[in-house]
Structure 1
Amino acid sequence: MNVNLKYFASIREAIGQGGETVRTQATTLNALRDELLARGGAYAEVLAPGRAVRTALNQDLCDGDAALSEGCEVAFFPPVTGG
């Protein structure tokens, strides 16, 4: 299936782009993140296990067990704080 990815803040800066459309076999956010980690380089650095990364599926915050669907939007961003 095709999934639309969006990257924000420091993740966007490290990867060098704000988004992309990828073809994936992943059925969950965790599986998609694993596929991106396998790309190596900046993906492996900013999406590594243990890194504080938030995810949203179709603009709703969710955990890694969320199910993907054709054409969905997945966003990766660091935690944000206000003040």
Structure 2
Amino acid sequence: MKDRNGLQKAMYADLKATFALSAQPVVRAVMKVVDAYATLKTNLRAGNLGPPTRSGTASASPSAPIGVAPQSRPRER
């Protein structure tokens, strides 16, 4: 996929049906994924992640999927 619209066309119906979501959360999820990969690509090109052989730096591969951490619950008072 080269753009948000292509990914959205490919995944929209499946995401909507699988997770029983309304339209807006599906579109927002696709947008978040596209933005995350754009940020990763920009950081890799800019060298912000450091060389892969240096220890103590984050490393990322544009071919590896980006993981999504579960949202934490707000603390109860």
TM-score normalised by length of structure 2: 0.29
Q: Which protein has the larger Cα radius of gyration, Structure 1 or Structure 2?
A: 2
Greater helix proportion? 2
- Greater relative CO, 1 or 2 (CA 8 Å, sep 6+): 1
